[in-house]
């Protein structure tokens, strides 16, 4: 019992240390982003045009939000590395080789998801939402609302693109198997379109642009989980 408690305490210390490292690195990246905040804000505001602020502190808070989201984006490789290093503590010796593979794959999926959300979904969503207003209504978008819209939707797509990795991980620990995932494909596709309808602006094109990549990612997850299962069986036989 004392050994188990000591192991648990060590895991908590390890988690605390990696959280502190991640936060520190995000803060450092955010400081560098804030130093170029005017140029970054000018680039971000291109799809919408002119922005306004209606409270004295709103522009400053928005600048801090940009610095935070930007710092989190550029610090994501280090943060992902810390997450997978912590997860590796609970794995067997033979399974730790997958940490580097999972970490790299997770980072690539996150970046691709963020870029897809920012350059594909957000422009389509903004065009639809701005075009839905009648001509006699002048849009006046506040900087805080716009930055929140950009940041949340961009990182949401980064997280959503982790779907194949989540499937592979669940298959690896035996929670799901490729056969059941394939058998429930139709139900999953319906759920994906429902989720896309909830997370995206209310137009069919944007929903399809989100749903189709998710379906592809789901199929990729099934394929990779089959490879993981086959590798697992070979390990057990050897």
| Mean pLDDT split into 10-residue runs, the chain, 238 residues | 57 89 95 94 85 91 92 88 79 67 82 88 81 79 89 86 86 82 91 84 74 90 81 52
Q: Which residues contact 114 (CB under 8 A, 6 or more apart)?
A: 73, 154, 155, 157, 158
Q: How far does CA 150 lie from the centroid of its chain?
A: 13
Cα separation, 145 vs 58, whole angstroms: 10
Half-sphere exposure of 133 (CA within 13 A, CB side): 11
Of the candidates 228, 226, 198, 227, the one whose C-alpha atom is nearest the C-alpha of residue 211 is: 198
Q: What is the pLDDT of residue 95?
A: 64
Q: What is the pLDDT of residue 103?
A: 76
Q: What is the pLDDT of residue 210?
A: 80
Q: Find where tokens 């993981």 sit.
A: 228
């Amino acid at each position: 019992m004392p050994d188990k408690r000591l192991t648990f305490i060590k895991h908590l210390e390890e988690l605390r240390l990696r959280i502190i490292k991640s936060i520190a690195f995000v803060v450092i990246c955010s400081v560098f982003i804030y130093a170029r905040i005017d140029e970054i804000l000018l680039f971000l505001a291109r799809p919408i045009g002119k922005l306004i602020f209606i409270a004295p502190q709103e522009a400053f808070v928005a600048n801090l939000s940009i610095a935070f989201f930007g710092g989190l984006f550029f610090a994501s490789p280090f943060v992902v590395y810390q997450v997978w290093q912590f997860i590796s503590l609970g794995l067997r010796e033979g399974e730790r080789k997958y940490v580097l593979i999972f970490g790299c794959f997770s980072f690539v999926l996150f970046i691709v998801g963020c870029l897809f959300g920012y350059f594909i979904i957000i422009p389509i969503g903004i065009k639809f939402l701005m075009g839905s207003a009648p001509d006699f209504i002048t849009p006046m978008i506040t900087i805080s609302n716009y930055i929140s819209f950009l940041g949340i939707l961009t990182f949401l797509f980064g997280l959503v693109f982790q779907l194949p990795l989540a499937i592979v991980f669940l298959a690896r620990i035996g929670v799901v198997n490729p056969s059941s995932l394939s058998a429930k494909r139709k139900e999953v596709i319906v759920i994906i379109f429902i989720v896309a309808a909830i997370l995206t602006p209310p137009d069919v094109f944007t929903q399809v642009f989100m749903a189709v990549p998710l379906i592809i990612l789901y199929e990729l997850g099934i394929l990779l989980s089959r490879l993981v299962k086959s590798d697992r069986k070979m390990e057990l036989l050897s």
